[in-house]
Amino acid sequence: MHREVLVSMFVCICNAITDKQIRKAAKAGARDLWALQEQLGVATNCGSCSQDALAIIEETQKNSRPSRFPQPVLYTPATSRA
């Protein structure tokens, strides 16, 4: 029997923020370090975690499936075109 063990690790030691928290924020829309800093406080002290945090964002974006709901296409009526 295969049993999956989910383990979190601290990425930002200064602020006690785990990879799981960063992944969750990335899935919820955090796209860059600024967003992570604002939402979680990652890399707001010594900054040594910033590259790892960015790598987790990139990995999460790469592994996330495209949305089931496509982005809306803006319609421009012919009368308003120049």
User: Which positions lie near ligand FES, rule CB under 6 A?
Assistant: 12-15, 43-49
In whole angstroms, the minimum distance from the beta carbon of 81 to ligand FES comes to 50
Output 41 or 59, the one with its CB closest to ligand FES: 41
Q: By C-alpha distance, which of 59, 48, 51 is closest to 20?
A: 59
Shortest distance (Å) from residue 74 CB to ligand FES: 40
The conformational region for residue 16 under phi > 0 = left, psi -120 to 50 = alpha, else beta, is left
Instruction: Give Cα 39 to chain centroid, integer Å.
Output: 10
Minimum Å distance from CB 11 to ligand FES? 7
Please name the residue that has the structure tokens 């799981």. 20
Nearer to ligand FES, 39 or 47 (CB): 47
